Amino acid sequence: MRCFPEDGLPERRRAGPPAALLTESGRDVGHPGLDEDVIYLDYNATTPVDPRVAEAAWPYVSRFFGNPSTSYGYAERPRRALAEARSEVAGLIGSRPEEIVFTSGGSESDVTAIRGLVPPGGHVVTQRTEHPAVLRTCQSLARLHGVRVTYLPVDERGLVDPAELEAAVTARTHLVSIMTANGETGVLQPVAELAGIAHRHGALFHTDAAQAAGKIPLAVGDLGVDLLTVAGHKLYAPKGIGALYVREGVDIEPLLHGGGQEGGLRAGTENTAYAVALGAASRIAAEETPREAARLSALRDLLHLRLHQRLPGRVLLNGHPGRRLPGTLNVSVSGARGADLLAATPRVAAATGSACHTGDPEPSAVLLAMGLDRDRALGAVRLSLGRWTTERDVETAARLLADAAHRPGGPAAAVSP
């Protein structure tokens, strides 16, 4: 069992948003970092830090600076805060606190999981629409250490066929790594079923849940996974903090060696303030996810409906109509390129493909892997909604995008229908 220093948990922090951000009903009406003139629909790329999260973290930036791994008085408050944050992250995904390892973010968690479990000459199975942190780590292991990598295909809706995994995994497979939710289409993979297949063959299972954690209910026990990635900036915590769930009993080689922090799995003096932020974000998400998921699903569907009504016959859904994140809508507008459409609507902040490839003129690799043709992939726009998205935002965004698509000589002329 890994041990983390803690002297018991402090009384729960009571960090709420400033009163100016609340209506009489208690609902947030705005965020200080969002421009009122811009409709932010790129929550899958990054989320603004929730003011409640910033308030919880600030004392550990400004006052409680002690190293939590030391033994004198200055360490006591940071050490207790770190322990509470670990418990809050564990609460979000249904794990034990000692199974949570704080990292610098989702990419580090992914790389740690894969490099820490797949030995030279080993075998790992993943799929073609994974995050680059997974795909490029696998490529690196193949190039430098002779690891055999199997990349599973996805169907036209972005789903992995469990039968494909059954055929690919063997008794010599060390790890299967398949994401919970795709950041471009929002498609949700059948993780529990896939993890069961991996385990029947003696392989461990990792899932990158960076896009899913805090947006849909997750429980590592129900999923049956051995490792799970969380990224703070996808659930209203700052960039630069994440977590890796490592099931007790899983023997993993650290990516970073040094002083033995994080139960020996991630060296480096702990970033207490950001860990506290991730803990607060996790607690808020655990409390609000059921209600917020329903609200975002309704707004997402309204946005899709309004686009369809204003552009009849031209709006094509990319991904699965049911198995997807509540706040993600990926559509192609026939006769228009996504990049041109967004350039013509500067009030709408959205994306045309993976956030990690913004500015890349090539079509989304995710959409191409799903079998979409080049024109449809180039026509894609990802509209991702979040905590501060309102019905007014949705109505206005649909009108602006549709007006741009209709405009003579505008983006509608970029690609032939």
Provide the annotated active-site residues.
Answer: 356
CA distances from 406 to 312, 349, 350, 378, 380 (A): 11, 19, 19, 18, 16
Rounded-to-integer distance, Cα 90 and Cα 97, Å: 5
| Cα–Cα dist 187/158, whole Å | 6
User: Within 10 A of 187 (CB to CB), how many other CB atoms are there?
Assistant: 29
User: How far, CA to CA in Å, does 158 sit from each of 165, 185, 317, 360?
Assistant: 15, 8, 12, 21
The C-alpha angle with vertex 140 and arms to 43 and 366, in degrees rounded to 5, equals: 35
Cα–Cα dist 186/380, whole Å: 14
In sequence order, what are the residues at sequence separation of 6 or more whose Cβ sits closer than 8 angstroms to the Cβ of residue 298?
A: none
Q: Which residues contact 215 (CB under 8 A, 6 or more apart)?
A: 181, 235, 285, 289, 293, 296, 325, 326, 327
Residue 50: DSSP 8-state = P
List Cα–Cα distances, 191 to 95, 208, 323, 381, in angstroms: 17, 10, 12, 26
Q: Is 182 left (phi over 0), alpha (psi -120 to 50) or beta?
A: beta
Question: What does the radius of gyration of the chain's CA atoms come to, in whole angstroms?
Answer: 22
Q: Given the DSSP bridges, would you call strands 148-152 and 175-177 parallel, antiparallel or unpaired? A: unpaired
CB 318 within 8 A of CB 367: yes
* Token pair listed for 323: 């198995």
